[in-house]
Amino acid sequence: MMRMVFSALSGALFGAGLLVSGMVDTVKVQGWLDVFGDWDPTLAFVMGGAILPMAIAWRVAERRKIAVLGTPIPAKPPQKLDRDLILGSVLFGAGWGLVGLCPGPALAMTFVNGSSGLVFLVAMVAAMVVTPALRRALTSKGETPWTSAR
Whether 147 maps to a domain, the answer reads no
Whether 149 maps to a domain, the answer reads no
Per-residue model confidence as pLDDT tens for the chain (150 residues) = 888 898 899 888 988 888 888 888 888 888 888 889 888 888 888 888 889 988 998 888 888 888 888 888 888 888 888 888 888 888 888 888 888 888 888 888 887 776 767 888 888 888 888 888 887 887 776 655 555 444
Whether 50 maps to a domain, the answer reads yes
- SS3 state at 35: coil
Whether 132 maps to a domain, the answer reads yes
Query: Phi and psi of 148, rounded to 5°?
Result: -110, 155
Structural domain of 8: 2-140
Whether 148 maps to a domain, the answer reads no
Count of the separate structural domains present in the chain:
1
**Distance between CA 147 and CA 7 in Å, rounded?**
38
Q: In which element (H, E) is residue 42 found?
A: helix 42-63
Whether 48 maps to a domain, the answer reads yes
Model pTM score: 0.65
Find out whether 107 and 15 touch, Cβ atoms under 8 Å: yes
| Residue 150 CB-density burial (10 A; 0-12 exposed, 13-18 middle, 19+ buried) | exposed
